[in-house]
Amino acid sequence: MQENRCGQCNRKLAEGSYIRLNIKCPRCNTLNHLSAPSTVQERQTSVEETQAHGRTAY
């Protein structure tokens, strides 16, 4: 089982496996973007391109 912690305050946010997860830390309000380290099915490699579209939800 995989533990997922907040990048800011290291609070434990979730446990388990996922492909991609956006989770807001209840303690410090940091929005954490988590993605599984090895996803063979996922072919898109450039993460930055998704941010090119002006409007992001956060």
Contacts with Zn ion by CB under 5 A lie at: 6, 8-9, 11, 25, 27-28, 30
Q: Is 6 exposed, middle or buried (0-12, 13-18, 19+ CB in 10 A)?
A: buried
**Nearer of residues 20 and 27 to Zn ion, judged by Cβ:** 27
Nearer to Zn ion, 25 or 34 (CB): 25
Strand pairing partners for 21? 34
Q: Is the dihedral of CA 55, 4, 13, 29 positive or negative?
A: negative
Min separation Cβ 9 and Zn ion, Å? 3
49 versus 58: smaller Cβ distance to Zn ion = 58
